[in-house]
Amino acid sequence: MVKPFYVVAGGGGFIGGHLVAELRRRGLGPIRSVDIKPTSEWYQCFEDVENIVADLKDLANCRRACKDAREVYCLAADMGGMGFIETHKAACMLSVLISTHMLLAARDAKVEKYFYSSSACVYNADKQKSEDVVPLKEADAYPGMPEDGYGWEKLFTERMCRHFTEDFGMYTRVARFHNVYGPHGTWEGGREKAPAAISRKVIEAKLGGKKEIEIWGNGHQTRSFMYIDDCLKGIDMILHGNVPEPINLGSDELVTINGLVDMVEDIAGIKLKRHYNLNAPKGVNGRNSDNTLIKKYLNWAPSIRLRNGMEKTYKWIYDEYVAKYGSTAKR
Ligand code: NAD
Ligand code: GDD
């Protein structure tokens, strides 16, 4: 029997919403998008998609999600930037119920291809102590000492995918996303990551006539940030390619947080006095993606420059901010 559905679990979220949009653009379907949030809160929601509001921690809902599915993209997770994952470790680990039940349901529904979104947070903390980073190779996830809470769940689920392949013959692919940014994502409320948070803070200052900005940490932390379009391309290539092990999907353009702030200020045409909050959530000191393996498997790696992606992201957040708070907002 032909199994028609392309299923995006977490389709109301940032990456999931873009993925649904991309599958539509490619003319694939029917598409089913599942998320726990009411559809009014989905970043992207399309009428020609089967949109289901359901809690995927529940096995019965996972079975409904996977029914007649050809491909399943498991992106649903209770997650966010450092401000969220450092303070919600149990909630992050409870995503294991989503991950486990989705795998069981997909196995039983004989899904052809299964994608799981892991994270750079699986990497051993000892390898990320210095801002002066050596980019992380896939083997650096072991011996296991991932980000507390969230990272443990991701590492555990990676192993689950591996063993579902070994024991049940299920086709699984796993990508370790490095900090993904772009329009149609979280920019306020506590789950936002640095690119969106810094954009919002600069916009707030610009529109509110403030001269200062609060930065978490000392600004010397280093990261790489991947634009959403590279993420979507990578998901497609990894799911459909010969990539039988968890693989980095991230940019290798390293930047300090101060450098990111410089860039956003330049885009906004403003210069602010920086106040460094050393008690705020900071995460690891340094992290970058080693893209040797993805180039070996796919002859491709993310390449969109941070400046290009940030210009689009800043503009989208600016428009959202003005639509919500007005153009002379003083929050
Ligand atoms: P997101 O929070 O925007 O999307 C996740 C979606 O999952 C949300 O819409 C949320 O409502 C939904 N969800 C949470 N619990 C659910 C449940 N019980 N049942 C159904 N839906 C549920 O996050 P995102 O940035 O789009 O991330 C997508 C995936 O990629 C996640 O698995 C995340 O851990 C992973 N990831 C993201 C990044 C990044 O930088 N964005 C980095 C590494 C890994
Ligand atoms: N969120 C946020 N907000 N971070 C800030 C801010 C701010 O206003 N100011 C400075 N930062 C600093 C943080 O302290 C941290 O050192 C760095 O910017 C990056 O923070 P995040 O973008 O929140 O998270 P991350 O890069 O440490 O981890 C993210 O990426 C992982 C994958 O690479 C998280 O989203 C994880 O969930 C994700 O798996």
pLDDT tens-digit map of 222-271: 999 999 999 999 999 999 999 999 999 999 999 999 999 999 999 999 99
* Structural domain spans, the chain: 5-180+226-249, 186-224+253-288+305-325
CATH number for domain 5-180+226-249, candidates 3.40.50.720, 3.40.640.10, 3.30.950.10, 1.10.3720.10? 3.40.50.720
Query: What's the chain's average pLDDT?
Result: 97
Whole-number pLDDT of residue 129 = 95
CA 191 to centroid of ligand 2, rounded, Å: 10
Given a contact cutoff of 8 angstroms between Cβ atoms, the answer to whether 310 and 263 are in contact is yes
Q: Which ligand is nearest to the CA of 193?
A: 2
Whole-number pLDDT of residue 270 = 97
Q: In the structure, what pLDDT confidence band is assigned to residue 113 with cuts at 50, 70 and 90?
A: very high
Rounded to whole angstroms, the Cα distance separating 73 from 16 reads: 8
Given a contact cutoff of 8 angstroms between Cβ atoms, the answer to whether 172 and 162 are in contact is yes
Question: Measuring from each residue's beta carbon to the nearest atom of ligand 1, which residues come in under 6 Å?
Answer: 10, 12-16, 35-37, 55-57, 75-79, 98, 117, 119, 177, 179-180, 186, 193
* Identified catalytic residue from 150, 181, 314, 321: 150
CA 71 to centroid of ligand 1, rounded, Å: 18
* Whether pLDDT at 331 is above 60: no
* Whether pLDDT at 3 is above 90: no
pLDDT, average across residues 54-63: 98
Whole-number pLDDT of residue 1 = 61
81 backbone dihedrals φ, ψ, rounded to 5°:
-80, -170
Bridge partners (DSSP) of residue 117 are: 175
pLDDT in tens, 118-165: 999 999 999 999 999 999 999 999 999 999 999 999 999 999 999 999
CA 149 to centroid of ligand 2, rounded, Å: 15
Which letter, b or e, does each residue of 225-260 get, where b requires 16 or more Cβ atoms within 10 Å of its Cβ? bbbbbbbbbbbebbbebebeebbbbbbbbbbbbbeb
CA neighbor of 193 nearest in space, from 253, 257, 146, 250: 257
Rounded to whole angstroms, the Cα distance separating 321 from 325 reads: 6
CATH number for domain 186-224+253-288+305-325, candidates 1.10.10.10, 3.65.10.10, 3.90.25.10, 2.40.30.30? 3.90.25.10
- Both structure tokens of 293: 């393996």
Assess whether the previous peptide bond of 195 is cis (omega < 30° from 0): no
Question: Measuring from each residue's beta carbon to the nearest atom of ligand 2, which residues come in under 6 Å?
Answer: 79, 81-83, 85, 119-121, 150, 177-179, 192-194, 197-198, 215-217, 221, 223, 257, 280-283
Given a contact cutoff of 8 angstroms between Cβ atoms, the answer to whether 172 and 242 are in contact is no
150 noted as active-site residue: yes
Q: How far apart are the first and last CA of the chain?
A: 56
pTM score: 0.98
